[in-house]
Structure 1
Amino acid sequence: MIFALLLSGIIQGSFLIFLLYKKGSNRIPNRILSFFILLVIFHLFLISLDVEDLFIAYPHFSRLSWLLPVLYGPLILLLTQSIVEIDFTFRRAHLLYAIPFLVYLVLLTPYFLSGTASKVAYLSDPVMVSQADFGWMNHITNYLHIGFTSAALWFFYRNVGERSQYFSDDARVNIRWLQEFLWLLLGLMVFALFTFYAKKYQVPHFSGIYPSHFILVVVLVYWIAYKLLQEKMAFAPMQHNTFRTSEIAAEPVSVKYSKSGLNSEGSTMIAAKLKDLMSREKPYLNPSLTIAELSDMMDIPKHQLSQAINAELGSNFYELINQYRLNEFKQQAIDPANSHLSILGIALECGFNSKATFNQVFKKSEGTTPSAYVKLHRS
């Protein structure tokens, strides 16, 4: 049963990699996630060999399960940074993430280079194999997983709010699938640490969980597939490297843009031009409108447009665009010509791309529900 479930995870993971590579956009996050899933399915393959006691038949695969999982943490942190950080690029500092892997590789190289007979002799002693499998290296690996995933969560919560300066749809601002993914991973890794200790110290009633807990990894693979097929995995990095996320800190507007080169008069003119464009062309009706697209329409650098929105309109890009969508909804909802349309249908026509986002924005702005508002004003 365990072998069959692990095999299903390998098949599903292979399908996922195909889907991610088929996507033409968001190449960096897609490639990182693809490599992460590739490691997962190869790890499941190694666990399948272990479950079926096949390492003696294929001894050169042994101890790869000690080395390759060390890359999980760095890939999780890189994936989070590549999705959350605006204009993400690989930097030399990212090479530091590979230090644990390189240390493990150096320590394990003598075993990998040893001959078949030596490996078979070692694998034929189950007591020695068990002591080694639950030794200090795999012990540390568990804490590396938890440490890197915790760092990814810290980075996520520290930076995700800044995306409201760039995007107008909730999926790309809050990236809830990534938040859920990181918490699921952290929970899985904490549980893996528990099963590790339970097996190592033969804790009654719990020592038999290992390696069955890898079924949860299969569940995670299917969860990723579900999110991907439901098109809820919004990566959407910016395409123009004008200014970085770190430049948009939560500080006074006068300080934030003190070196932008745009004075108060210029900021006021941009705000006026923006209002005119919103009135004439209604770009906010585009559910996936970004500040880069809006700045292209206005032929204004996006950092100057962001400054004008912050300084002159007292808002950020996400709040501004959704306020325009909300005002459009209030006009269309009370129009008798639209009485045959549902509330959600009108909201979608006004640029909202989900019921949850629409209800959240409406309740925050109006202090009531959309249905109550429409009923009152139509009557």
Structure 2
Amino acid sequence: MFFIIGIFIAIFLSLLLLVKAKKTRADKILFIWLILISVLQIFRYFYVSGYFFDHPNWLGIELVLPVLHGVLLYLYVIEITGNTIKKKGNVFLHFVPSIILLVLTIPFFQLTNEQKILVYQNNGEGFEWFVFIEGLIVVISGLAYSIWSLIVINKHQKNIEDIFSNTEKKKLQWLKTLSIGNGVIFILALFFETNVTYTAIAFLVLFIGFFGINQLNIFYSNKDALETLDREQLIENKKVNSNKISKKSVPKEKYAKSGLTKEGVSEIYAALKDVMDKKAYYKNPELTLVELAKILNVHPNYLSQVINEIENKNFHNYINGLRIKEFIKLASIEENKKYTIISIAYDCGFNTKSTFNKYFKLQTGKTPTDFFNS
């Protein structure tokens, strides 16, 4: 029964992606992954219900498909995190294990229908070598790609703090959980019967559906609800053309290596302090390193270097530190006592209560309530 639920949810989510306007490459990969899950669940239901034995021509088709789970998860993760594989040859390499398995299934497909049924009914008798190799490749591949996906996500989480001032909606925690869940499925495959694994896959589909609906941009085109990653900011941070501060402060020979002299660092930092003191750009909750670099007319890498060297912080921590200082200043004014703590925090540039509380305690060692009561 649970197979049927998983099938319908996977097909439903696939249709949502199919009709979605302005589909990204990540959307297309997720669509293929959901179709794969649907097909596997349908084939499993056919096997359990005995339909396969009435129509043996279908037997064996599902043998190659499970190895694609991990591959599609990984390709989806790298698209979401802005690390698109540009060379088609590199993408092809990820499908080599499935091609190997496809070649190994040729002897099975050469059997008569009666022989195929006997192989299935006798737990792979005569093809024990294939069952072993297939199980090994599927489990190793699934676990490897789940771990690889987690590494990419963790790297992404560190990178976004160098670019975005507010990262709460860009950390992709749901995608990390999805990667862990995918890995758990392949661990279950090592110790439990196939039905348990397919039940776990159905739960994975439920997870994708639940969190996908909450992450509105996955299944619907809604620019205002974009909660994963501002891809354009990341790309621009990598590609934006360099602008000199002055010929003295940034020597030509060092410029190609993104090198700055002490004069250059001091000049950029002075300009940064000036715009922050006078214009308070940190109050913009969507402020990014790229935007601030444009305001200062410097390369984002230079600005990031200056903040790291002088403030000993990344861009994210630096901006949120300024927001906390501004919050303490505003909250200490008597006439502002009529406003709630969180409303003042929002005025200072925070866009979530959890981020505000985290950085307030990080900077002061106390909660906002304890701080003002002490």
Tell me, in whole angstroms, the C-alpha distance in 1 between the residues paired with 2:335 and 2:55. 72
- Match of 1:292, SS state, is helix
CA distance 1:306–1:342, shift in 2 (3 Å): same
Conservation of the 8 A alpha-carbon contact between 1:287 and 1:353 = yes
Tell me, in whole angstroms, the C-alpha distance in 1 between the residues paired with 2:60 and 2:16. 30
Letter in 1 for 2:235: H
RMSD value over aligned CA atoms?
A: 3.1
- Match of 2:52, SS state, is coil
Structure 2 match to 1:123: 117
Structure 1 match to 2:102: 105
- Match of 1:262, SS state, is coil
Structure 1 match to 2:27: 30
What is the deviation of 1:263? 2.9
Structure 2 match to 1:347: 345
What is the deviation of 1:177? 1.9
Structure 1 match to 2:281: 283
More off after superposition, 233-242 vs 45-54: 233-242
Tell me, in whole angstroms, the C-alpha distance in 2 between the residues paired with 1:292 and 1:80. 23
Conservation of the 8 A alpha-carbon contact between 2:237 and 2:300 = yes
Tell me, in whole angstroms, the C-alpha distance in 1 between the residues paired with 2:21 and 2:370. 42
Structure 2 match to 1:207: none
Using structure 2 for the length normalisation, give the TM-score.
0.79
Structure 1 match to 2:250: none
Q: Say whether 1:90 aligns with 2:71.
A: no
CA distance 1:375–1:38, shift in 2 (3 Å): farther
CA distance 1:137–1:274, shift in 2 (3 Å): same
Tell me, in whole angstroms, the C-alpha distance in 1 between the residues paired with 2:152 and 2:133. 27
**Deviation digits for residues 150-176 of structure 1 (CA, Å, limit 9, x no counterpart):** 233344445532332112223356432
What is the deviation of 1:242? 4.9
The count of aligned residue pairs is: 344
Letter in 2 for 1:135: V
Structure 1 match to 2:228: 234
Conservation of the 8 A alpha-carbon contact between 1:6 and 1:44 = yes
Letter in 1 for 2:326: E
What is the deviation of 1:212? 4.0
Tell me, in whole angstroms, the C-alpha distance in 2 between the residues paired with 1:327 and 1:234. 28
**Deviation digits for residues 10-42 of structure 1 (CA, Å, limit 9, x no counterpart):** 2322333355563748x2433333322222222
What is the deviation of 1:367? 0.3
CA distance 1:130–1:104, shift in 2 (3 Å): closer
- Match of 2:95, SS state, is helix
Tell me, in whole angstroms, the C-alpha distance in 1 between the residues paired with 2:103 and 2:172. 38
What is the deviation of 1:317? 0.9
CA distance 1:127–1:309, shift in 2 (3 Å): same
Tell me, in whole angstroms, the C-alpha distance in 2 between the residues paired with 1:152 and 1:23. 27
Match of 1:221 among 205, 210, 230: 205
What is the deviation of 1:324? 1.9
Conservation of the 8 A alpha-carbon contact between 2:64 and 2:101 = yes
**Deviation digits for residues 311-330 of structure 1 (CA, Å, limit 9, x no counterpart):** 23322111112112222222
Conservation of the 8 A alpha-carbon contact between 1:161 and 1:174 = no
Tell me, in whole angstroms, the C-alpha distance in 1 between the residues paired with 2:62 and 2:360. 51
**Deviation digits for residues 58-82 of structure 1 (CA, Å, limit 9, x no counterpart):** 4443323211221112222233333
Conservation of the 8 A alpha-carbon contact between 1:87 and 1:240 = no
**Deviation digits for residues 113-142 of structure 1 (CA, Å, limit 9, x no counterpart):** x58xx2354225643355458822332112
CA distance 1:354–1:64, shift in 2 (3 Å): farther
Tell me, in whole angstroms, the C-alpha distance in 1 between the residues paired with 2:234 and 2:21. 16
Match of 1:135 among 119, 131, 135: 131
Tell me, in whole angstroms, the C-alpha distance in 2 between the residues paired with 1:279 and 1:51. 69
What is the deviation of 1:93? 3.2
CA distance 1:347–1:60, shift in 2 (3 Å): farther
- Match of 2:145, SS state, is helix
Tell me, in whole angstroms, the C-alpha distance in 2 between the residues paired with 1:325 and 1:218. 44
Conservation of the 8 A alpha-carbon contact between 2:153 and 2:172 = no
Q: Say whether 1:274 aligns with 2:258.
A: no
- Match of 2:50, SS state, is coil
Q: Say whether 1:182 aligns with 2:166.
A: no
Structure 1: segments with no counterpart, 5+ residues: 200-209, 245-255
Output aligned runs, 1:1-379, within 5 Å.
1=1, 5-20=2-17, 22=20, 24=22, 27-84=24-81, 88-91=84-87, 92-109=89-106, 111=108, 114=110, 118-119=112-113, 121-123=115-117, 126-131=120-125, 132=127, 135-140=131-136, 141-157=138-154, 160-171=157-168, 174-195=171-192, 199=193, 210-231=194-215, 234-237=228-231, 238-240=233-235, 242-243=237-238, 259-376=257-374
**Deviation digits for residues 274-307 of structure 1 (CA, Å, limit 9, x no counterpart):** 2333334433333333222333344432222222
